[in-house]
Structure 1
């Protein structure tokens, strides 16, 4: 199994005193600021509470293997928790539609598949979304991975299927946030579902063509993932401890519309819960800034590195693509057959590395065959056969 190394850093450059909540990963090593308290969450995770003075920094490093959902049995309390109604995943908003889609079905997996197919086909991936929350998503039918996931959670819960929103990141590079789902199937445990990636692969199949992230055929995202993703927290709207004290009259910065209502990120909560931990949620305790904060000021920074050989293939792939582009340009300028060999050979290597990394196997398989045939033709044109 591949192992990914994650390094997360947060530095308080926002206000004199800042509170921060973060799920502490298993086996994490923490330097700098240490948690004031550590409490258990209903998800089975541990929530750390930090207090950072201005200029203070915390660093958390940990390892995770390729993503696989858990197989544990749910207790009665856990089942209720994963069937709860929340602000971002409002069950009331989707009851009628869920009943229309799944009311004639008895099998939980068939119900979940019906919900999956409906969301993938009826909604469109757009980043960034204009608003957050299921109510807004239903009105616009446009949203990013968060909205797709919040809706899947809400509809599964409305159908009586325990479900949770998984908040995390792609396991490559810096700050590649992603959100998806797990729903619970009796006898199987947690079952992975990614409606936003299915939607992209169905409607925008070229969107990830040059990415280092592997992809699957869209229907396979019901029950499978490519595995190269990191989990930060196993659900949205997790209770914050110690209690989050909302500002009664918040300064209007980082205002994010949620279900048609203004929400000040970093000053408010949903009845004591964080909208989501990716991987942190913060609160400015004093001298609140009167400007919008940047992404790193809100969430910190993280970087994910894979095994050395896997990281090395990224650089080889990018180098071969760049050399291929240069070969195309030089071939066009000079007309020399040697540059035809250069670009066809480079693109052949690019496709071969992509195949070795299991990225879009069918597409890169076709590219590899075409480039191989073109390379042989260029070899003959150059008089080398």
Structure 2
């Protein structure tokens, strides 16, 4: 597969200071960023005796403050671009039949522009009650309800309640990947252990928001550094809660835990350093996969003869552009 990945120029970051009521938190995030991202995936160790391989590659798209100025998909086999009807996530769908290669390399390069003003313009005031529904791992049980009652006690407005939940998650969780089971976004595990990564932090936040009758949703992608270029070690996820008539408000509880001095900034401010890959949980791909709904759609989903295949390796690169 021929690799094409061209960059030029340096990024010019214009600082932005703006305020989010009612907390008046100063945002450290640039008003606008433009960068190039390469998402590389290798499907490895495919069994030669298999009859069929199906691959769903997640694709970043233009949505919610993010504009994809250019997207190039490099694949040795034909693909079709599809979109799930619930969350609007795009994907490249590929099918392979005999004779099968031992491995398959895919690469998607993006030129993206992330804008705070665009997010706020597109962040409409329509009802979002569908984002009160639980998923397989983002649940509302009595433990979650009790935590939520404590977190929102004395709070009157929706935003005040969301802030109470935000503080509760930061105050009771720790970013810790030493115990197996982290990274699935399992609310029950988060309540029991009080530990995990960004998926676990934000699954707990979303569960508690739902318990308080606050619409909330899960997002996942990449945090793009502000250095000139380099590699990105892995995914990052965050959450948003919905204020009726005013729109979605982003939160990043795990980053606020890691960087306490930025706790105010990570509540309610759109972060232009984030590159969105997909939204939602328990996703039915298009065409529908044989297995259960996909818990988190960030890595390529692969099925070999109808069974999920875990032989997937990924790498991510970025370059800031002017």
TM-score (norm 2): 0.72
What is the match of residue 108 of structure 2? 60
Alignment match of 1:224 (pick from 269, 274, 280): 269
What's the counterpart of residue 317 of structure 1?
none
- 1:254 aligns with none
The CA distance in 1 between the partners of 2:307 and 2:135, in whole Å, is 31
Aligned length: 262
Distance in 2, Cα, partners of 1:120 & 1:3:
31
**Deviations, residues 153-181 of structure 1 (Å, cap 9, x unaligned):** 11112211111111111114233321111
- TM-superposed deviation, 1:8: 1.5
Give the CA deviation at 1:107. Answer: 1.4
Shift of 1:94: 1.4
- Can you list the C-alpha shifts for 1:102-149, whole angstroms capped at 9, x where unaligned? 265341111110000001111111125522311011111111111001
Q: Is the 8 A contact 2:58 2:298 kept in 1?
A: no
Greater radius of gyration (CA): 1
RMSD: 2.6
- Structure 1 gaps, min length 5: 203-215, 247-271, 309-385
Counterpart check, 1:42 vs 2:86: yes
Which of 217, 239, 259 aligns to 1:201? It is 259
Asked if residue 73 in structure 1 is aligned to residue 124 in structure 2, the reply is yes
Summarize deviations over 1:221-262 as a string: whole Å, max 9, x none.
Answer: 11125521211112232222222223xxxxxxxxxxxxxxxx
**C-alpha contact (below 8 Å) 1:195/1:221 kept by paired residues:** yes
Aligned to 1:161: 214
Moved more, 106-115 or 274-283: 274-283
Deviation, structure 1 residue 287: 9.3
Tell me the distance in 1 between the aligned counterparts of 2:88 and 2:104.
29
Q: CA 1:83 to 1:74, structure 2 compared with 1: closer, same or farther past 3 Å?
A: farther
Q: Report the equivalent of 1:7.
A: 38
Work out the CA distance in 1 between the residues paired with 2:144 and 2:110. 38
Cross-structure match for 1:121: 171
Gaps of 5+ in 2: 1-31, 62-69, 226-230
Alignment TM-score, normalising by the size of structure 1: 0.61
